[in-house]
Amino acid sequence: MAVINCPSCKKKISDKAKSCEHCQLDLTELDAEKIASLKRVSAVEKSQQLMTHSFIAMLLFCGGFLFLYWQDAQPGTWQYIVSITSTILGFILYLVTRVRLLLTKRNRA
Ligand SMILES: [Zn+2]
């Protein structure tokens, strides 16, 4: 008996199992084509999720930056701290998300 990863939820299951004990996926009807399409779907979902993250990061960055600019926030005020934090967080989050997106695409190729 070998342990394989469920093609749907990626959790470890027995290769003799007829269905996944975690996500109830029916493994008896799975063939190579279905596994490939499940993998494609999860890759697309992953990159869509990352796209959403990078969009949120952009909003954080732009929002923080514009707020700082429009409010003419002075250093030491809460507005200044909030907008600087938001700008920096957004920037870092954006970079991290872009790198993760690149890695996801490279893994797929
Ligand atoms: Zn599963």
Tens of pLDDT, residue by residue over 16-54, are: 888 888 998 888 877 778 888 888 888 888 889 999 999
Does one domain contain both 26 and 50? no
Does one domain contain both 23 and 61? no
In a domain, residue 82? The reply is yes
pLDDT at 107 over 70: no
Does one domain contain both 77 and 102? yes
Domain span including residue 80 = 40-108
- What is the mean predicted confidence (pLDDT) over 49-74? 91
Spatial separation of the C-alpha atoms in residues 32 and 23, rounded to whole Å: 19
* Ligand 1 center to 15 CA (angstroms): 12
pLDDT for position 109: 53
Spatial separation of the C-alpha atoms in residues 35 and 5, rounded to whole Å: 11
Does one domain contain both 22 and 50? no
* Ligand 1 center to 45 CA (angstroms): 16
Are 67 and 90 contacting, i.e. CB atoms less than 8 angstroms apart? no
pTM above 0.75, yes or no: no
* Ligand 1 center to 77 CA (angstroms): 50
pLDDT at 108 over 70: no
The residues, ordered by sequence, that sit 6+ positions from 61 with a Cβ below 8 Å of its Cβ are 86, 87, 90, 91, 94
How many domains would you assign to the chain? 2
Does one domain contain both 13 and 60? no
Residue type at position 72: D
Q: Residues whose CB is under 5 A from ligand 1 (ion)?
A: 6, 8-9, 20, 22-23, 25
Spatial separation of the C-alpha atoms in residues 59 and 73, rounded to whole Å: 19
